[in-house]
């Protein structure tokens, strides 16, 4: 595993070298027979692929350079416990959940592969008798789409539930990939 070679104090050059080595490897998708039915598999994948590292309600305090949060202790019957870490260690652990640049959590193959997805979907619609060009697409912002699909307003302040969050700018040097 690549992350085991990365130390908290790894230089950007060392990280880039490891990523270049990983890109040269032949990656193989391994799939085995599922233990349950399709509903359980989709539920599992949904939790895995769209989960964040830690949600706001689990962070109890940020004081004097320490972050205190709750977690479930799997070795003690899922008992809810609290842990305090230095802010630096908390951020280091959090960043372990951020995928490196150009890595993707979900890869699509076949007709949904990015290289041919648009052409494939148009062809599929033509073959089944649906006219894609005749469809009217309504322009939606990301916020509107999330609200329509999930019923959640992502512009609503998660703390006070009254104020609105507005995107102003991306800070220089912030790598969100």
List pLDDT tens digits, range 3-52. 555 555 567 788 788 888 888 888 777 788 777 888 888 887 777 777 78
User: What pTM value is reported for the model?
Assistant: 0.43
Residue 1 has what pLDDT?
39
Q: Mind listing the pLDDT tens digit for each residue in 105-129?
A: 777 888 888 888 888 888 888 888 7
Residue 7 has what pLDDT?
59
Residue 32 has what pLDDT?
80
DSSP string, the chain: -GGGG--TT--HHHHHHHHHHHHHS---------SS-HHHHHHHHHHHHT--SS-GGGEEEEETTEEEEEEEEGGGTTEEEEEEEEHHHHHHHHHTTSPPTT--SS---GGGSTTTHHHHHHHHHHHTT--STTPPPPP--HHHHHHHHHS--TTB-TTTSSSB-----PPTT----
pLDDT band at 80 (very low <50, low <70, confident <90, very high): very high
Q: Which has more pLDDT, 116 or 1? A: 116
pLDDT band at 61 (very low <50, low <70, confident <90, very high): very high
- The domain locations on the chain are 106-135, 137-167
């Amino acid at each position: 595993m690549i992350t085991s070679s990365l130390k908290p104090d790894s230089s950007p050059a060392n990280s880039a070298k490891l990523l270049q080595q990983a890109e040269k490897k032949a990656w193989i998708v391994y799939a085995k027979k599922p233990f349950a039915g399709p509903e359980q598999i989709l539920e599992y994948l949904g939790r895995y692929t769209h989960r964040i590292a830690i949600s706001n309600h689990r962070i109890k305090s940020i004081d004097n350079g320490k972050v205190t949060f709750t977690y479930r202790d799997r070795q003690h019957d899922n008992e809810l416990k609290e842990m305090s870490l230095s802010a630096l260690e908390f951020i280091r652990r959090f960043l372990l959940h951020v995928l490196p640049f150009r890595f993707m959590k979900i890869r699509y193959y076949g007709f949904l592969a990015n290289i041919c997805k648009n052409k494939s979907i148009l062809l599929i619609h033509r073959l089944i008798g649906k006219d894609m060009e005749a469809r009217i697409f309504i322009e939606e912002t990301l916020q509107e789409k999330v609200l329509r699909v999930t019923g959640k307003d992502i512009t609503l302040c998660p703390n006070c539930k009254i104020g609105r969050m507005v995107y102003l700018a991306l800070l220089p040097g912030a790598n969100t990939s």
